[in-house]
Structure 1
Amino acid sequence: MRNWCMRHPIGFMALYLLFYLLCFTLLEKYVTVPDLWVHCRLDDLIPFCKYAIIPYSMWFPWIPFTLFYILWRGPRNEFWRLCLPLFTGMTLSLLFYLIVPNGLTLRPHTIAGTDFFANAVRALYRTDTPTNVCPSIHVFNSVTLMFAYYRSSCFDKPGRRWMRPAAVILCTAITCSTMLLKQHSVIDVVFGILLALALDYAATLLEYETSPLRRQQRLKRKQRLPEWW
């Protein structure tokens, strides 16, 4: 299976997308009564802003764009370096939603206006229930993608360096939009960021331990040990 995934990265992404959408849909349908309500005092200080639907929605094309761009422009190992924490974190989040069902009650009762932004928010609220929110996958994915822009060598070229600060701006805008739309609590955002940091660190350690240089170091150390060791 691993060899097949290495040879067919697009097929691997398609399979994971199906897995994720299936699991998320089942959770949304059957896990509807949270055991944990997420809320903190900072949530009450953040105003609702219907215009935040724009950066919030940019999350959806940003993920496939980044994956395909690095797959196309960068070394294959950098593509897998992004996939490892990204898909692991999404899977762990789904598992946490199952074990600890959580939700929030931050959404406004009514949304004023009949303009595009108000209608878009209403459509979002209809399709996405206020459950399965902590940690925020929106925030986790955004931070993980931002790290990839600074790690991948395909953004080293002068004509592409602008994409790195652009990724920071987009990540920040998406993160803020989750709170401005009352889709997530500050707590969800914090845990999404912490999950991204933890898995990025774990992926870095794994990359180092499996690198050719590390294997050479272990081999040299083994050669220096006495026979009785």
Structure 2
Amino acid sequence: MKAFINKYKHAWVLLYGFIYLPWFAHLEKTVTKYHIIHVALDDYIPFNEYFVIPYFFWFIYVAGAMIYFFFVNRKDFYKLSTFLFTGMTISLIICTIFPNGTDFRPAINPDKNIFTHIVAWLYSTDTCTNVLPSIHVYNSIGVHIAVLQSETLKKHRGVRIFSGFAMTAICLSTVFLKQHSVVDGLASITMAYCMYGLVYGQAYMYSRRKAAEKALG
């Protein structure tokens, strides 16, 4: 038992859930007056209920990556956790200081097909508030970065390609389901870019330096 605890002691970082979930739930219940996030481009993006598939696949994508790195590579697990949890905290702070939401959810006929039924349920359980930046977009980018940076997965080209496809589909789902504005996604991309430099930038610069040294002989 002692050996098991020592091997997986990095599980302590998952205690972050006890901070994020109550905080997010509090915002969902209390934010009723908010700034509308809406740009003209949002109106040109058609609603498509089939994007509910990648939207919900996000839970498997993120959880699967966390579980994989937890058991396979502690260093990569810490980096991914740092990337995700820091961005999620920043998002909560933004939504607390600057309450925000959208106003362009379409009317849904839940009887049209199984996908509209799921979207109708999603709309009924998830408010249109606390959208900027989009955690769906941010975390998806974070997971894909972790996959690309992982030494363990460098030889698994299929996994890397699938991850890129999944990340793209999830990001697109946020706007095609009218869950988020384009602005939310752009804010997430910007935040991910900044966090990449902080979490992975040093390793990236080291690898580039080694590659340059090798090229020069």
Say whether the fold is shared (TM-score over 0.5): yes
State the match for 2:17 in structure 1.
Answer: 17
1:150, CA displacement in angstroms?
0.5
8 Å CA contact 1:102, 1:132 repeated in 2: yes
The two structures have a TM-score, normalised by structure 2, of 0.86
Moved over 2 A (4+): 4-12, 109-115, 204-209
Q: Which residue of 1 aligns with 2:113?
A: 115
Q: In the alignment, is residue 59 of structure 1 matched against residue 70 of structure 2?
A: no
Bigger Rg, structure 1 or 2: 1
- Give RMSD over aligned pairs: 2.1
Question: How far apart are the structure 2 equivalents of 1:55 and 1:82?
Answer: 21
* Residue 8 (structure 1) shift: 2.2
- What is the identity percentage for the equivalent residue pairs of Structure 1 and Structure 2? 39
Question: Which residue is equivalent to 1:32?
Answer: 32
Cα distance in 1, alignment partners of residues 123 and 140 from structure 2: 21
Find the counterpart in structure 2 of residue 88 from structure 1: 86
SS in 1 for 2:200: helix
Query: What runs of 5+ residues in structure 2 fail to find an aligned partner?
Result: 206-217
Q: What is the TM-score with the length of structure 1 in the denominator?
A: 0.82
Query: Residues 184 and 88 (structure 1 numbering): CA distance in 2 closer, same or farther, change over 3 Å?
Result: same
Structure 1: tracts of 5 or more residues without a match: 210-229
For residue 110 of structure 1, report the CA deviation from its aligned partner: 3.2
Aligned length: 201
Kept in 2: contact 1:5–1:12 (CA 8 A) = no
Cα separation, 2, equivalents of 1:120 and 1:175: 18
CA distance in structure 2 between the aligned counterparts of 1:84 and 1:184, rounded to whole angstroms: 24
In 1: Cα distance, 2:136 partner to 2:32 partner: 20
Q: Which amino acid aligns with 2:167?
A: C
Post-superposition offset of 1:71:
2.1
Correspondence for 1:137 among 135, 138, 147: 135
1:110 and 1:145 map into 2 onto residues whose CA distance is 31
Q: Residues 70 and 154 of structure 1 are in contact (CA less than 8 Å); yes or no, is this contact kept in structure 2?
A: no
